């Protein structure tokens, strides 16, 4: 009898320890918590998480490729095909801008590129909520990526209505990245201006005017000049490639 | 005649072909969606414009201003077709500065400013949901960013049921509402604010960015930013004035302290080289933030933030003075600067030490406490120059190496002018002409024009690339062919006359004595007159019958002046390695010099009248040493040409790039070479090649004249310059 009671006691103690451990883990590790709470995840957060990584990748790629995801007139540099922002094939002459409205071009290209992912994420959201017993009504809307000082904003004008025990409607989904591509593009406009008039610009003069920007300048091949702009505070890198007032390598 | 016509036709056809093959052509849009590119018609997309000329000269790709009114942005110098491909864009042929909608001004958004067009300002205001003010009168960025926006800020007190909160530096319009009270210009530590418990905090300071600088600020016990840190202003600090201290913690104040090494002032200035950071040394009296110097330590020297200097990169000349390049004629230089530039220019002539293959200039900048390198253009297309702009503060720049202009300069004075990056090498001209005066004149040598203007800093050349112009450039610019001609006795071997043709072959001394044209090309010519003992010691062991008499160069020059009686020239003694032929000094003359004078008359010795027309010009070089030094100096100065050590001390690869070969040739009646012996490489970059030289000296083929008087034929062009006939013996100066 005593032995039997002792065994039961041990099992009870073990059970208490296991429960206590689970409770402790649940409190200490938020991911475990969130996985158990997926059904209460905010649709805004869902979309944000779903889109963010891919958008970041495209932003990174477009920055390293000088403003294009699919460059046509470019130079291979440090693992990326960097497109020319100002170019002339002739020697001794000034370049012509090849992307006159760079900010809009980048916004349009990012919008175009991220759209399939956004649509897929909303479809995934719908399936996810339907799987948890919600009735989901979705009205697709406009997708737009916009560059602003120190951030990149994605706005998705979708309307999502979730019904289960009550109705919740979500209008206008946003995603925000910390990235100062906006200002880097403004500085690239200055670099292009100088390339047209003078051929190149001293990086120090840019850094003196924009103390939070680091600028490197290199000559990857004959006649080409590349500037690598980095925002030291917010993050973001942009490459500006020009070919202006070049001259032949040896006396002819 | 027929040959000439044929040559002309061939050249004409070739030129046509060049024009045809290399013609520029412009495509408005290509099949891969590029606008205004130089491409063939096949690459053009569909029914678009195409012209056979450079894009900038076409109507469809003309450059002008591209305007996007939706965004308010304008792009200058933009190709028309590219512009019109953009949605919402229009193109204007005028420059951007002439178009009103493209003009930027200062947009003011609350306390922030931006230098943009008015349309851009409107867009930004819409994005942020704020109002804006637009100042057209501020039309440069500096004025806009340094605009001080007077703002009504102060302490904002929020009175809740259970507590009272206070925040500093709040805008009046942001401190509105039922429970809010705004106190303009005050801090939360002001006694006037009833119920507010914020007090000066001696333990914490903070960094905060204001404008372009990040400064140190006091904090209060509520966590608010107070005024710019000034240790003397802390309440109770005996170094300060109590009344001022009280005011300091009551009102928002402009900083009045001066940053020094004590760490007692937080008015850091980015432009001045300080920025707020965590304290290491010096430790401030209060808190843990100080204005840190952004200076840099580099190779034992301290550089200030913003200071720049030239790096000591291998193979370059260190710290070239800026006035070496920026030295317009009207710039007043101190004597010290003039002397320094002269010294630098002289040292730069050593092309075996400076500006050698592989060398590249770099500029270093101290920025934010970090030394940043910036490369100048490769191939020494740019060089780094520096100057001290104020005491102890240097500024450096990568500037263009203006070597291209040297080839257009044909005189010494302009070439050596300190406004040019060139130097003068005495000797051959680019056109190979001899522009010296007649030998009898005073100062017959035209030092002003008898030479070549070459770069002071040789540019780099991609000599390793067989498809580039590099090797061709060195070859074309550096190749020299000289034909030294000797006069033998007309009787040859048939009489025991010394020197016979065989003697000329056997005795090297005889070669130099009996030479009459381009004698300086003969190794060792004038060896008794050389200034460089190394040259003499190097060459003398290689030649036989070494002369024992030493005379200075002036004596040699006197021989070529051939002035009447006053010179008192005696007959040339046989041990000097210089010509004793009258033909060397007089056109058409033969025979040995004899007597006290050299008279250029039609019949040697029989006419005592000097025929000045027959006197030759002074030679381009007096001695082989001069010739040798001139051509090797010029080769080294042109660029990465010739025998040079690179920056890693390797010269193996260049040993074939600079050499002298020599061979014997027979000449016919008209003096044109016919047939030849073995060509020997007698010198390369590493020195004289002894075995080859000895073979060359003992070459079995002598010079034979085919019957008759030796023909001293040379040609004279319409300017009076002498040159050699072609292989057909014809005078043809085309």
**For the residues B192-201, what does the mean pLDDT come to?**
90
Residue A103: list chain B partners with CB under 8 A.
71, 73
- The answer to whether A208 and B89 are in contact (CB under 8 A) is no
Q: Is the pLDDT assigned to residue B302 strictly greater than 60?
A: yes
d(CA B338, CA B718): 43
Q: What does the pLDDT profile of chain A (252 residues) look like in tens digits?
A: 456 677 888 888 888 888 888 888 766 655 544 444 444 568 999 999 999 999 999 999 999 999 999 999 999 999 999 999 999 998 889 999 999 999 999 999 999 999 999 999 999 999 999 999 999 999 999 999 999 988 999 999 999 999 998 999 999 999 999 999 999 999 999 999 999 999 999 999 999 888 889 999 999 988 899 999 999 888 789 999 999 998 776 655
The answer to whether residue B241 neighbours chain A at the CB level (below 8 Å) is no
Distance between the two ends of chain B, CA-based, in angstroms? 14
Q: Which residues, 6+ apart, have CB-to-CB distance to B289 below 8 Å? A: B205, B206, B207, B216, B229, B266, B276, B277, B278, B279
**Can you give the residue range of the structural domain that contains A96?**
63-102+181-243
pLDDT of residue B213: 80
- The answer to whether B473 and B404 are in contact (CB under 8 A) is no
d(CA A202, CA A162): 56
Q: Are A187 and A239 found together in one domain?
A: yes
Q: Which two tokens stand for residue B248?
A: 């300091």
User: Helix, strand or coil for residue B388?
Assistant: strand
Domain boundary among A178, A207, A233: A178
- Cα–Cα distances (Å) from B515 to A2, B276, B509, B648, in that order, read 133, 81, 10, 44
Q: Are A51 and A68 found together in one domain?
A: no
* Domain residue extents for chain B: 2-61, 103-145, 153-293, 301-401, 485-722
Q: Is residue A86 part of a domain?
A: yes
> Which residue matches tokens 């305007």?
B67
Q: Mind telling me how many Å the CA of B649 is from chain A's nearest CA?
A: 24
Q: Which two tokens stand for residue B151?
A: 């703002």
Q: Mind telling me how many Å the CA of B65 is from chain A's nearest CA?
A: 10
pLDDT per residue over A2-58, tens digit each? 566 778 888 888 888 888 888 887 666 555 444 444 445 689 999 999 999 999 999
d(CA B1, CA A235): 76
d(CA B555, CA B368): 67
The answer to whether residue A111 neighbours chain B at the CB level (below 8 Å) is no
Q: How confident is the model at residue B207 (pLDDT cuts 50, 70, 90)?
A: very high
For β-strands B382-390 and B393-400, DSSP reports them as antiparallel
Interface test with B, best of A106, A199, A250 (most B CBs within 10 A): A250
What number of other Cβ atoms are within 10 A of residue B115's Cβ?
A: 20
d(CA B415, CA B216): 57
Q: Which residues, 6+ apart, have CB-to-CB distance to B94 below 8 Å? A: B64, B65
Q: Are A171 and A226 found together in one domain?
A: no
Q: Is residue A167 part of a domain?
A: yes
Rg for chain B, CA atoms, rounded = 40
Q: Are A120 and A173 found together in one domain?
A: yes
Q: Are A121 and A169 found together in one domain?
A: yes
Q: Are A113 and A159 found together in one domain?
A: yes
Q: Are A173 and A196 found together in one domain?
A: no
Whole-model pTM? 0.77
d(CA B403, CA A248): 13
Task: Count the helix, strand and coil residues of chain A and give each as a percent rounded to the nearest 5.
Answer: 45, 30, 25
Q: What is the mean pLDDT of chain B?
A: 79
Residue predicted with more confidence, B395 or B599:
B395
Residue B54: list chain A partners with CB under 8 A.
90
Number of domains into which chain A is organized: 3
**Residue B110 DSSP symbol:** T
d(CA B317, CA B281): 38
Q: Which residues, 6+ apart, have CB-to-CB distance to B574 below 8 Å? A: B509, B513, B580
- Sheet strands (E) in B279-318: 289-293, 296-298, 301-303, 308-310
Which among B71, B270, B377 has CB closest to A101?
B71
For β-strands A237-243 and A224-231, DSSP reports them as antiparallel
- The answer to whether B618 and B568 are in contact (CB under 8 A) is no
Contact B639 A90 (CB under 8 A): no
Q: Is residue A92 part of a domain?
A: yes
B53 alpha carbon, distance to own chain's centre: 33
Listed as own residue / partner, the contacts of A44-48 with beta carbons closer than 8 Å and 24 or more positions apart are A44/A170, A44/A173, A44/A174, A46/A121, A46/A125, A46/A128, A47/A118, A47/A121, A47/A122, A47/A125, A47/A156, A47/A173, A47/A175, A48/A173, A48/A174, A48/A175
Q: Are A191 and A72 found together in one domain?
A: yes
Q: Which residues, 6+ apart, have CB-to-CB distance to B396 below 8 Å? A: B308, B309, B310, B322, B363, B364, B365, B384, B385, B386
Residue predicted with more confidence, B602 or B634:
B634
**Residue B334 DSSP symbol:** -
Identify the weakest region by mean pLDDT among B27-31, B431-435, B501-505.
B501-505
Q: Is residue A221 part of a domain?
A: yes
Q: Is residue A160 part of a domain?
A: yes
B141-159: b (≥16 Cβ within 10 Å) or e: beebbeeeeeeebbbbbbe
Chain A and chain B share a number of CB contacts under 8 A equal to 96
| Burial environment of residue B521 by CB neighbours within 10 A (0 to 12, 13 to 18, 19 or more) | buried
What number of other Cβ atoms are within 10 A of residue B465's Cβ?
A: 12
Residue predicted with more confidence, B720 or A97:
A97
Residue A154: list chain B partners with CB under 8 A.
none
Residue predicted with more confidence, B7 or B671:
B671
- Cα–Cα distances (Å) from B711 to B511, B613, B668, B675, B705, in that order, read 18, 19, 8, 17, 9
Q: Is the pLDDT assigned to residue B167 strictly greater than 80?
A: yes
Contact B76 A193 (CB under 8 A): yes
User: Helix, strand or coil for residue A162?
Assistant: strand
Contact B461 A250 (CB under 8 A): yes
Q: Residues for chain B: how many in total?
A: 734
> Which residue matches tokens 């020319």?
A84
**Residue B633 DSSP symbol:** H
Q: Which residues, 6+ apart, have CB-to-CB distance to A124 below 8 Å? A: A50
pLDDT of residue B90: 95
Q: Are A78 and A7 found together in one domain?
A: no
| Burial environment of residue B136 by CB neighbours within 10 A (0 to 12, 13 to 18, 19 or more) | exposed
Q: Which residues, 6+ apart, have CB-to-CB distance to A69 below 8 Å? A: A58, A61, A62, A109, A113
Q: Is residue A252 part of a domain?
A: no
User: Helix, strand or coil for residue A247?
Assistant: coil
B32 to chain A: nearest residue by CA?
A72
Q: Which residues, 6+ apart, have CB-to-CB distance to B150 below 8 Å? A: none
């Amino acid at each position: 009898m005593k032995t039997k009671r002792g065994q039961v006691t041990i099992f009870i103690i073990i059970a208490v320890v296991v429960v206590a451990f689970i409770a402790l883990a649940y409190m200490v590790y938020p991911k475990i918590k969130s996985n158990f709470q997926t059904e209460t995840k905010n649709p805004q957060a869902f979309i944000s998480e779903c889109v963010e990584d891919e958008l970041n990748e495209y932003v990174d790629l477009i920055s390293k490729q000088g403003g294009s995801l699919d460059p046509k007139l470019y130079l291979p540099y440090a693992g990326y095909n960097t497109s020319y922002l100002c170019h002339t094939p002739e020697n001794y002459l000034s370049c012509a801008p090849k992307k006159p409205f760079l900010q809009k071009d980048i916004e349009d290209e990012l919008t175009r590129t991220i759209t399939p992912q956004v649509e897929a994420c909303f479809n995934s959201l719908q399936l996810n909520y339907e799987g948890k017993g919600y009735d989901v009504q979705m009205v697709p809307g406009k997708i737009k990526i916009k560059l602003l000082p120190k951030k990149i904003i994605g706005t998705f004008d979708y309307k999502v209505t979730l019904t289960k025990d009550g109705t919740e409607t979500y209008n206008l989904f946003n995603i925000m990245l910390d990235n100062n591509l906006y200002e880097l593009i403004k500085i690239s406009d200055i670099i292009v201006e100088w390339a047209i008039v003078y051929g190149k610009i001293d990086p120090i003069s840019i850094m003196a005017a924009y103390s939070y920007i680091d600028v490197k300048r290199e000559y990857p091949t004959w006649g080409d000049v590349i500037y690598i702009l980095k925002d030291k505070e917010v993050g973001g890198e942009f490459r500006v490639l020009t070919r202006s007032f070049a001259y032949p390598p040896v006396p002819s | 005649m027929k040959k000439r016509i044929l040559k002309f036709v061939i050249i004409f056809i070739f030129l046509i072909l060049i024009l045809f093959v290399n013609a520029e052509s412009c495509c408005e849009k290509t099949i891969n969606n590029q606008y205004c590119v130089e491409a063939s018609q096949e690459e053009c997309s569909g029914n678009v414009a195409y012209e056979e000329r450079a894009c900038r000269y076409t109507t469809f790709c003309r450059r002008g201003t591209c305007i996007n009114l939706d965004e308010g942005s304008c792009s200058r110098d933009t190709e028309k077709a590219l512009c019109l491909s953009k949605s919402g864009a229009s193109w204007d042929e005028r420059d951007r500065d002439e178009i009103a909608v493209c003009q930027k001004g200062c947009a003011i958004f609350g306390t922030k400013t931006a230098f943009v067009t008015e349309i851009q300002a409107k867009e930004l205001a819409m994005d942020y949901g704020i109002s804006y003010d637009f100042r057209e009168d501020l039309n440069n960025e500096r004025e806009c960013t340094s605009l001080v926006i007077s703002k009504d800020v102060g302490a904002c007190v929020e009175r809740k049921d259970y507590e009272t909160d206070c925040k500093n530096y709040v805008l009046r319009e942001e401190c509105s509402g039922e429970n809010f009270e705004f106190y303009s210009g005050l801090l939360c530590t002001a006694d006037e604010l009833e119920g507010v418990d914020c007090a000066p905090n001696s333990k914490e300071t903070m960094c905060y960015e204001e404008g372009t600088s990040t400064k140190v600020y006091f904090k209060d016990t509520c966590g608010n930013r107070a005024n710019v840190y000034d240790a003397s202003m802390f309440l109770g600090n005996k170094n300060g004035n109590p009344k001022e201290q009280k005011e300091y913690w009551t009102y928002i104040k402009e900083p009045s302290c001066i940053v020094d090494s004590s760490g007692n002032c937080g008015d850091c200035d980015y432009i001045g080289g300080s920025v707020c950071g965590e304290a290491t040394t010096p430790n401030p009296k209060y808190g843990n933030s100080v204005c840190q110097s952004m200076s840099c330590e580099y190779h034992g020297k301290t550089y200030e933030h913003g200071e720049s200097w030239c790096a000591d990169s291998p193979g370059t000349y260190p710290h070239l003075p800026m006035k070496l390049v920026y030295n317009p004629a009207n710039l007043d230089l101190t004597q010290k600067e003039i002397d320094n530039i002269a010294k630098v220019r002289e040292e730069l002539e050593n092309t075996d030490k400076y500006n050698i293959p592989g060398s590249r200039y770099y500029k270093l900048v101290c920025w934010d406490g970090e030394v940043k390198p910036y490369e100048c253009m490769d191939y020494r297309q740019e060089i780094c120059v520096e100057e001290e702009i104020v005491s102890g503060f240097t500024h450096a720049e990568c500037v263009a190496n203006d070597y291209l202009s040297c080839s257009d300069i044909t005189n010494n004075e302009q070439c050596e002018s300190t406004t040019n990056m060139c130097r003068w090498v005495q000797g051959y001209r680019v056109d190979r002409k001899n522009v010296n005066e007649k030998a009898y004149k005073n100062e017959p040598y035209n030092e002003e024009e008898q030479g070549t203007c070459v770069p002071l800093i040789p540019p780099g050349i991609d000599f390793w690339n067989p498809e580039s112009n590099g090797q061709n450039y060195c070859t074309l610019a550096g190749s020299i062919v000289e034909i030294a001609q000797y006069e033998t006795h007309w009787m040859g071997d048939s009489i025991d006359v010394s020197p016979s043709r065989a003697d000329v072959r056997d005795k090297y001394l005889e070669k130099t004595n009996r030479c009459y044209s381009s004698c300086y090309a003969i190794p060792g010519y004038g060896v008794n007159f050389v200034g460089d003992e190394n040259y003499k010691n190097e060459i003398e062991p290689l030649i036989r019958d070494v002369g024992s008499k030493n005379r200075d160069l002036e004596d040699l020059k006197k021989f070529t002046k051939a002035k009447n009686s006053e010179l008192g020239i005696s007959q040339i003694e046989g041990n000097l390695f210089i010509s004793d032929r009258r033909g060397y000094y007089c056109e058409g003359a033969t025979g040995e010099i004899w007597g006290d004078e050299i008279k250029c008359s039609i019949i040697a010795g029989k006419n005592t009248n000097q025929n000045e027309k027959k006197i030759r010009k002074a030679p381009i070089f007096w001695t082989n040493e001069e010739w040798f030094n001139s051509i090797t100096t010029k080769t080294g100065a042109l660029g990465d040409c010739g025998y040079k050590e690179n920056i890693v001390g390797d010269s193996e690869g260049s040993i074939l790039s600079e050499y002298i070969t020599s061979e014997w040739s027979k000449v016919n009646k008209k003096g044109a070479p016919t047939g030849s012996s073995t060509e020997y490489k007698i010198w390369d970059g590493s020195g004289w090649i002894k075995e080859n030289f000895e073979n060359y000296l003992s070459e079995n083929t002598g010079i034979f004249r085919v019957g008759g008087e030796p023909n001293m034929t040379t040609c004279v062009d319409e300017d009076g310059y002498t040159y050699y006939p072609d292989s057909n013996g014809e005078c043809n100066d085309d």
